[in-house]
Amino acid sequence: MNPDKKTTVMIGVLFLSAMFSAMIGNGLITSIVGVPDCLENVNRNKSLVVLGMVLEMVCAIAVVWLAVLLMQVVKKHNKNVAFGYLGFRIIESAIIFVGLVSILLLISLSGEYIQTGAPAGASFETLAKLAVAGHYWGFQMVIIVCGVAGVMLCYALYCANLIPRFLSVLDLIGYPLSISPPLLEMLGFGQVLILYLPGSAFEIILPIWLFVKGFNISEVGSGAGRQQ
């Protein structure tokens, strides 16, 4: 397996790892903290909460590693996009870790709540709600930053013709749509989950394409330095 092929396969693996670790990790955490008796539920299911945190950390590491590998391909066509994409994914990773601090605080709070017998239940519940909200809105910001990074990447892939144009176009539509649900919720309109489908489809189809066909590497050499 030549180095280009190794890099391409690893990019595909990281795409899938980032997407599924984020989905499963956030789903685990949300299912436990998103109930009325949040503190008791967190204390009873601490191991699952920690597992969800670990999966979100896997996502945070994967997105940065993914961006570093993609730089090797994209910077030969557009250095500005390559470094911009890396920057946004570093920001995304940082937001994930900041959001996880809220969950750590929630775990500590749940322990205190159980030990003290919850004599000040209202104050505990208020702090718990703030911690849950901190993680939730942090994850919404992750989606927005990921969407912006995705648009940048697919613009570069489209211009360089490194993947089939239909895939680039799918994501140039999909990522802006994936930004819409959190923005709509921030404006008070609620989530429209179907808007995530095109972007999610791209993040599954692209890795499969890379495993089977890889990037059009011939375009890399001919286009080097084209869009500096």
Mean pLDDT of the chain: 86
Please indicate whether residue 43 or residue 123 has the higher confidence score (pLDDT).
43
In terms of DSSP H, where are the helices of 75-212?
79-115, 121-160, 165-186, 197-212
Residue 228 pLDDT class (50, 70, 90 cuts): very low
pLDDT at 87 over 70: yes
Strand, helix or coil for residue 214: coil
pLDDT at 223 over 50: no
Which residue has tokens 């999610």? 200
Residue 224 pLDDT class (50, 70, 90 cuts): very low
pLDDT tens per residue, range 133-184:
999 999 999 999 999 999 999 899 888 888 888 888 888 888 888 898 898 8
Contacts of 198 (CB under 8 A, 6+ apart): 170, 171, 173, 174, 177, 178
Kindly tell me the burial class for residue 164, based on how many C-beta atoms sit within 10 Å of its own C-beta (0-12, 13-18, 19 or more). Answer: middle
Q: What CA–CA distance (Å, rounded) separates 91 from 98?
A: 11
Instruction: Report the alpha-carbon angle 193-54-88, nearest 5.
Output: 60
Q: Other CB atoms closer than 10 Å to residue 121's CB: what's the count?
A: 12
Residue 34: DSSP 8-state: S
pLDDT at 217 over 80: no
Of the candidates 136, 140, 149, the one whose C-alpha atom is nearest the C-alpha of residue 15 is 149
Contact 93, 139 (CB under 8 A): no
